[in-house]
Structure formats: structure tokens, C-alpha cells
Amino acid sequence: MRDRKFVCFVLAPSFLLLFIFVVFPLFYGLGISFFDYNPARNHNPFLGFDNYIKMFQDPIFKKAVVNTFIFGIVAVFINIVVTLFLAQIISVLPSKRWKTVFRTILFIPCIAPMVGTALVWNSGIIETDGGLLNRIAGWFGVAPKNWLMTTGALMTIIIVYTIWADLGYNVVLFSAGLEGVPTEFDEAASIDGAGPVRRFFQIKLPLMGRTFAFVAIMTMANYFQMFAQFRVIAPKGGVKYCAMVLTNYIYRQSFTNYDMGYASAIAMALFIIVFAVALIQNKMMRSDWGYE
């Protein structure tokens, strides 16, 4: 009984902070999504489900949903493939010092603020006059191009930037998962004549299922909520809203159009999407195993 009271006493501050910063804002946002809400007004009329009806009739919202899914699925897939490959390369290095060096180099972009690095990419790489991308294109005789006025290329640039900025985190997680696999399994498969590729896919990868599931779920949930790079590189969503995602659209409705009731309705839709995707991923990637 005394231990139970101690546990409740220790966990109480965490639950209080969780309620203040997660549960209360969630229900508060749900509440104002039923109003024509503007904090600058004294009177905010009740609209019922009008904001949600408007949302499903909004072509920009539909475009943002499609773009969010495209960005999330493509970026997560490439991120996992690249980080898993790099983690495997690092894991076979003979020197522990070199492993640490490469992990540190790859992790440096994760430390830098995303707004700052996105501004550097926007001004130094994709800038029309003097940008690195146009300089490289000039070497092949291609005229300078305004990448911000493209459609598919703009989303591709944002995906490449996101993977570069977030590469090191998953490399560290996958490296830890690979090093957690007992060497006896790999050595036994090697004695049986299995090559390095076959050992990786049939021995290491299945045995790090929990790490893989955690990385996939957390990366997907994180990428569906990405905002900074879209706001910096494509603040208006690009040509024909080719790079408009739900987070940027929520910001636009809140702080440009001052329609926070409608923005809250969109935020609720984003919450449901992220929750559903995480739930499906968790069910698909559920792994029950143990070393014997």
C-alpha cells in the first residue's frame, strides 16, 4: 500500500503536465472547432458541424491531405531504407572510434534548428540566382530555374531536405538495434554459408523487429506533423498548392485568415489521421519474439 502511494506521488506531476499540455489543448481545440472562433472578437457564434462540412468541401484541404500522405509515405520509406543501410555499414566497421565519428557526423543536422537549416537550403541551394542546384544544372548547360515555381520538384526538394535533416536520429536507433542482436546468430549463419546480405535480411532484420517497428511508427507520426520546412520553403503551398500540407494549412487558417475554428477542425482531422496511421502501423508491425 505504501509503495502504491509512493508511485502515485511520483507520477502525479507527470500526469498533471500531460493533462495541461496534451489533454486540455486537445479538448479545447475540439471545442472551438464548433465555433466561428476568433480570439480578437468578444462574440464567437456557435456553428455546430459547419466547419467540418466546410472542410470536406474545401479543395485545398483535400489537396493538403493528399500531399501530407505523399510526403509522409515517401519520406518515411526513403528515410528507413537509407538509415538502415547506413546503420548496417557503420556496424561492420572494425573500429569503435570510427563508428562514433560517423554517427556523430550524421547526427549533426539533427541538432541544428530546422528553421535555420531550411533557411540555408532556401537561400543557398534552391535560390534561383546563385543557388547550388542551379549552379550544378549550369554545368550541364541547363538554364537557371525557379524551383519554388515547380510542382513535383518542389516536393522532392522538401523530401530530400527532410531526410538530410533527420537522418542521424534513426541511424543511431538502428545502430543500437543491430548491436543488440547477439553475434551467435550471425556467426552460426556465416558458418552455414550464408552471405552478408542474406544474414542481414534473414537474421538481423527479423531480430530487431521491435526497433524497426518503433522507428517506423515514430517517424511516420513525426513526418505527418512536419511544419517548419514547408513554412520556410513553400509558405503559400507552392504552385497549385503542390506542397501544401495539413500543418501549413492549419497555420494559414489560424494566423493568416484568423479562422481558428476552421483551423481547429482541420487539426482534429490531422489528429485522427496520425492516430489511425500509428494504430495501423502498430498492429501491422507487432513483433513478439525473444532471444533463446
**pLDDT value at position 112?**
87
pLDDT tens string 77-118 = 999 999 999 998 888 888 888 888 888 888 888 888 899 999
d(Cα 287, Cα 215) in Å, to the nearest integer?
A: 13
Any alpha helices (H) in 180-204, and if so which ranges?
A: 183-191, 196-199
**pLDDT value at position 289?**
46
Question: Treating both helix axes as pointing N-terminal to C-terminal, what angle do 59-91 and 209-223 enclose, rounded to 10 degrees?
Answer: 150
Any alpha helices (H) in the chain, and if so which ranges?
A: 2-18, 24-32, 50-56, 59-91, 96-111, 114-124, 132-139, 152-179, 183-191, 196-199, 205-207, 209-223, 228-233, 246-251, 260-284
CB neighbour list of residue 270: distance below 8 Å, 6 or more residues apart: 68, 224, 225, 246, 247, 250
Nearest Cα to 79, choosing from 200, 219, 207?
A: 219
**pLDDT value at position 2?**
63
**pLDDT value at position 291?**
45
Distances 254 to 29, 143, 160, 251 between C-alpha atoms, Å: 12, 39, 28, 5
**pLDDT value at position 126?**
86
**pLDDT value at position 292?**
44
d(Cα 1, Cα 243) in Å, to the nearest integer?
A: 56
**pLDDT value at position 78?**
95
**pLDDT value at position 183?**
74
Helix H or strand E encompassing 148:
none
233: left (phi over 0), alpha (psi -120 to 50) or beta: alpha
Q: What is the pLDDT along the chain (292 residues), one digit of tens a residue?
A: 566 777 787 888 888 888 888 888 888 888 898 988 877 778 888 888 999 999 999 999 999 999 999 999 999 999 999 999 999 888 888 888 888 888 888 888 888 889 999 998 888 888 878 788 888 888 887 788 888 888 888 999 999 999 999 888 999 889 888 887 777 776 777 776 777 777 777 777 778 878 888 888 889 989 999 999 999 998 888 888 999 999 999 999 988 888 899 999 999 999 999 989 888 877 776 655 444 4
Q: Is there a contact between 261 and 51 (Cβ–Cβ < 8 Å)?
A: yes
**pLDDT value at position 15?**
86
Question: Could you give the 3-state DSSP secondary structure of residue 106?
Answer: helix
**pLDDT value at position 231?**
92
Residue 104 is which amino acid? T
CATH 1.10.3720.10 fits 62-284, yes or no: yes
d(Cα 207, Cα 52) in Å, to the nearest integer?
A: 44
d(Cα 138, Cα 178) in Å, to the nearest integer?
A: 42
Tell me the whole-structure pTM to 2 decimals.
0.87
Burial class (CB in 10 A: 0-12, 13-18, 19+), 276: exposed
